[in-house]
Amino acid sequence: MSRLEELKTRIKEALPGLECVIGWQKGYDALHNTPLFMRSAEDVDKLEWGALNVHNPAVYLPTMAGKKVGVVVKGCDSRSVVELLQENLINRDNIVIFAAGCDGVVDLTKVKAKLAAAGTGAGVVTAVSADGKTVSVTAGGKTVAMPMAEVAADKCLRCQYPNAVLADTFVGTPAPQPTPVPSANADLDALDAMSVPDRMAFWRYHMDRCIRCYACRNACPMCVCRDHCIAQSREPHWLSQDDSVTEKLMFQVVHAMHLAGRCTECGECQRACPMDIPVLALKKHLNRTIHDLFDYQAGVDAAAIPPLLQFKTEEVNIKERSW
Amino acid sequence: MAAVKYISREKLPEWLKALAAERRLLVPVEEGGAVVFRAYDPAKAPVFGSDATAPPKGSVFPASKELFSYTYGKEGEDAKPTLTLDPKTTAEPTVVFGSKPCGARGFLIFDRVYMGKKFPDPYYIAAREATVFVTMACDTVENTCFCHWVGSGPADPAGSDLLLTPVAGGWLVEAVSAKGEPLLASPALTDGAAKAAEAEEVKAKTRAALGEAPDISTSKEALLARFDDMDFWRDQSDKCISCGACTYLCPTCYCFSITDEGSGMSGKRLRSWDACMHFQFTLEASGHNPRPTKAHRLKNRVGHKFSYYPTLHDGLIACCGCGRCVKSCPVSVDIREIVQNAVAKAKA
């Protein structure tokens, strides 16, 4: 039985005791899958597993507090579930985790660029097939074969957890441990190489096209303030409604600071951005700092206390007395 | 008979430079992978192939607009405080060049709201009257295009002042309104009569590529019938993450918020885009919120466009079918599917 068929069988078995199970189904065209909320056996038959399951379904869990729900996860998604558990934002007794080995997902922005280079476009895609090594996309009558390594999401290129770090039901054989690709951190490397004024100019250039839709925030599984975010509150009045780069960049800094040591780098903020702004780099930078200071990685151990949620009188790597 | 002209690809920069010399000229350009409308820069080639990521909504209705600035003053202990207001009603003459017909058509939905007899809006009217739309008809259609569902089409001139249609070597240029005609005076344009037949073929071919639209003529009643059916709206909105991408990228979404941004004795009053997908949109001062969940909010967005607005405005659907809300949605919520689901449920 394939991973997908086994997942469907196991979900159907569990469904009677659950409000719903969250997974993915085919979307409005062959290139887009979309989150699926399974409430009946017919819904489960729509389930998909593969390279187009780009979304992180953990984002929905904190909004369903008090209900017993199932969630299908990739390795990266499972880290968000674990981080939510670490912070007591969801109740373990109310979550049933279904998982299978993940061979990576595509970055639709990279797919779009490949299609444009081939003289066609993402808007006219009629068929997609993926076998783990190659993604073949048919658009405007042309079939473009793309090596997975060239169109995979950056997070897949640096993935250490292709198999869920926590699961109640894991189907099929685990995916092999991927070899990290050096270019996976090209975004941070490029920013590191810039002078401070150049870096500021980089962010001002990119944030200028921000439309303040807050898709980055709402797609983030760890952004749990949701309706009460200081970006939109009038009391406190931290941000103005001015359409200025300063306000837009300020929000990104607030977002990144709130995620320091909590972000699992699932990349949903950047994937969700309709304007293709590379906002994940800000969180990656802070995570790197957290890693250097506390030797900590978010969302891999449900029993671990995140470093900024605890207090030690003497930190190993912070020499407060030797200034 | 309106003038029919032709502009070649080679001559286009000449025309654009001439237009930019006299007014603000906004064209679609690539910025970090997205296509946005920006002031024309001869060093940067405009992108006319695919529809822009963000529509030219901001040209007439900016993301935030300063309505006026204010300053309080006080002379001496017992004097009454004074208040000085400096309104900002003037608008810069502007040409929006290279929007698709759907992007320009969006303002027809705005016009009925902001240029009506009841509440004419001086800020909107000034900007609208100062702006000319030079639109490019489509010669390709995307999976997310559905202009033909809402009474429009890939060469729809409604809302535009000039309509350009791609033909071999350049574009056929047709005047749609009296406001557009003066722009044809540039020597970069030549007579286009010989290209007219080819342009008609392009228009017909593109329209044919869209295929037949499903019948959604009952959407007004069908959506109203679902008003209290919150199970239906739960199912439609389950995957929605309640961000504002659909709303802010929509050429027809016209809702706004008003805030005073200032400190001490001076500041400014802003009118900014608002989104009915956000919790704060209907949050009342008491703390009560009549649309507490994303299901309530998505119901409003779809209902407004396909039921409430057409009920108030002679059946005009408040959607131009550009598909940005589908294409740019982080979770691929499809408004076409929701409307069809409501229509199908009403028939059942």
Half-sphere exposure (CA, 13 Å, Cβ side) for A132?
A: 8
CA of B184 vs chain A CAs: smallest distance (Å): 32
Do residues B249 and B327 make contact, with C-beta atoms less than 8 angstroms apart? no
Mean pLDDT value of segment B8-29: 96
Q: And the tokens for A80?
A: 């968000």
- Cβ distance B64 to A243 less than 8 Å, yes or no, reads yes
- Cβ distance B143 to A28 less than 8 Å, yes or no, reads yes
pLDDT of residue A323: 56
Q: Could you say which of A60, A109, A211 has the minimum Cβ distance to residue B54?
A: A211
pLDDT of residue A321: 73
CA of B187 vs chain A CAs: smallest distance (Å): 33
Length of chain B: 348
Provide the number of structural domains found in chain A: 3
Backbone phi, psi, residue A90, to 5°: -135, 160
**Whether residues A51 and A168 fall in one domain:** yes
pLDDT of residue B159: 96
**Whether residues A216 and A323 fall in one domain:** yes
Q: Could you say which of B34, B239, B280 has the minimum Cβ distance to residue A275?
A: B34
Looking at beta carbons, which residues of chain A come within 8 Å of B326?
28
Least confident range from A175-189, B49-63, B257-271: namely A175-189
pLDDT of residue B1: 45
Q: Which residues contact A24 (CB under 8 A, 6 or more apart)?
A: A33, A34, A35, A36, A47, A48, A49, A52, A53, A55, A57, A72
- Cβ distance B143 to A212 less than 8 Å, yes or no, reads no
Give the type of residue at B173.
V
**Whether residues A217 and A310 fall in one domain:** yes
Looking at beta carbons, which residues of chain A come within 8 Å of B259?
234, 240-241
Q: Calculate the average pLDDT of chain B.
A: 95
Please report where in the chains the tokens 């209705």 appear, as a residue.
Answer: B61
**Whether residues A29 and A91 fall in one domain:** yes
- Cβ distance B244 to A213 less than 8 Å, yes or no, reads yes
**Whether residues A66 and A114 fall in one domain:** no
What pTM does this model have?
0.95
What percentage of chain B reaches a pLDDT higher than 90? Answer: 93
**Whether residues A130 and A264 fall in one domain:** no
Looking at beta carbons, which residues of chain B come within 8 Å of A218?
241-243, 330
Q: Is the pLDDT score of A100 beyond 70?
A: yes
CA–CA separation, B133 vs B119, rounded Å?
24
Do residues A25 and A33 make contact, with C-beta atoms less than 8 angstroms apart? yes
First to last CA, chain A: 62
Q: Is the pLDDT score of B282 beyond 90?
A: yes
Q: Which residues contact B180 (CB under 8 A, 6 or more apart)?
A: B132, B133, B134, B160, B161, B162
E strands along chain A, which residues?
20-26, 33-38, 69-73, 95-100, 125-130, 134-139, 142-147, 169-171
CA of A311 vs chain B CAs: smallest distance (Å): 34
Looking at beta carbons, which residues of chain B come within 8 Å of A109?
33
CA of B162 vs chain A CAs: smallest distance (Å): 26
Q: Could you say which of A28, A113, A271 has the minimum Cβ distance to residue B334?
A: A28
Q: Helices B101-114 and B122-129 meet at what angle, rounded to 10? A: 150
Q: And the tokens for A114?
A: 């490949």
Residue B325 three-state SS: helix
**Whether residues A282 and A134 fall in one domain:** no
Q: Which residues contact A200 (CB under 8 A, 6 or more apart)?
A: none
What ipTM was predicted for this assembly? Answer: 0.95
| Residues B162-204: tens digit of each pLDDT | 999 999 999 999 999 999 999 999 999 999 999 999 999 999 9
- Cβ distance A59 to B34 less than 8 Å, yes or no, reads no
**Whether residues A40 and A188 fall in one domain:** no
Please report where in the chains the tokens 């959607």 appear, as a residue.
Answer: B319
Domain that holds residue A146: 109-151
Q: And the tokens for A4?
A: 């997908």
